[in-house]
């Protein structure tokens, strides 16, 4: 299981998640993070939710840690929540994480990027959290087919990666799997929702468990 999770080290979650305050509840604890940087969080009332940093949504998963562990025993849930098939393919291709890094999609799935090894690179985790939080917040209210222009400041940014970077180009917002906040599963078995802040747990305040 550890192959699919980021190393369990002390992190300044308040600082790392500053760009996600628009979606996260006011009170929660970080339990674990998968290899793509998605967070499994626990609300103050003990509910477990997934912060999907690639889909820009907060998805309720379980009523408690025990319930989550039981559901994770289902192979479909494990594959979806931890990107197991994709991580296995990345390891087989020699892409292995080091401390402080995570996997990232070169072209974001919300802009039509594939859940495939060739669309994945290794990124600094702190930078990637900041990039995805800002990116998804800016996509609020967009509809399928709307054009998006990504602009890169400096030589690189966490969401892309130098020569592969999608910055400075127009892309259409791909809402193919993101209709009305409905939770969907793509061809690789990964659940995700539209970056509209209304699916799953909803927007600021998360699952409603906040002060």
Angle, helices 75-82 vs 65-72, to 10°: value is 110
Residue 211 lies in a domain: no
Percent of the chain with pLDDT over 90: 62
Note whether residue 132 is domain-resident. Answer: yes
Q: Each residue of 144-194: pLDDT tens digit? A: 666 766 654 443 434 443 333 343 334 445 544 332 333 334 333 443 333
Residue 143 lies in a domain: yes
30 strand-pairing partners: 41
Cβ-in-10-Å burial (0-12, 13-18, 19+) of 131 comes to: buried
Q: Which residue has the higher pLDDT, 172 or 136?
A: 136
* Number of domains into which the chain is organized: 1
Mean pLDDT of 77-87: 97
Examine residue 197 and state whether it is found in any structural domain, yes or no.
no
* Residue 204 belongs to a domain: no
Domain that holds residue 44: 2-192
Residue 145 has a pLDDT of: 67
């Amino acid at each position: 299981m550890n192959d699919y999770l980021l190393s369990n080290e002390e992190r300044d979650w308040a600082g790392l998640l500053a760009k996600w305050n628009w979606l996260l509840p006011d009170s929660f604890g970080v339990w674990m993070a998968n290899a793509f940087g998605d967070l499994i969080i626990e609300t103050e009332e003990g509910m477990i939710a997934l912060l999907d940093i690639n889909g820009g949504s907060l998805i309720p998963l379980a009523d408690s840690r025990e319930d989550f562990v039981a559901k994770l025993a289902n192979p479909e849930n494990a594959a979806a929540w931890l990107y197991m098939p994709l991580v296995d393919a990345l390891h087989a291709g020699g892409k292995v994480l080091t401390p402080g890094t995570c996997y990232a999609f070169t072209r974001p799935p919300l802009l039509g990027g594939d859940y495939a090894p060739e669309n994945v690179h290794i990124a600094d985790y702190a930078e990637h959290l900041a990039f995805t939080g800002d990116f998804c917040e800016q996509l609020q209210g967009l509809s399928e087919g709307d054009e998006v222009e990504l602009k890169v400041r400096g030589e690189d940014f966490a969401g892309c990666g130098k020569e592969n970077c999608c910055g400075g180009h127009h892309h259409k917002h791909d809402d193919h799997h993101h209709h009305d906040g409905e939770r969907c599963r793509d061809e690789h078995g990964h659940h995700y929702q539209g970056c509209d802040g209304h699916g799953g747990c909803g927007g600021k305040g998360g699952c409603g468990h906040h002060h």
